[in-house]
Amino acid sequence: MGWQAIDVDTDEDLRAAYTDHVPVVFTDGELHGYWFVDADKLKQALDGRQPRPMEDGWRPSRHPD
Domain total of the chain: 1
The domain of 52 spans 1-65
Nearest to 6 by CA among 43, 63, 56: 56
Q: pLDDT tens across 21-55, in order?
A: 888 888 877 788 889 888 898 888 888 777 666 67
In this prediction the pTM is 0.65
What Cα–Cα distance (Å) separates residue 36 from each residue in 25, 27, 41, 56?
A: 9, 15, 11, 26
If one compares 20 and 2, the residue with the highest pLDDT of the two is 20
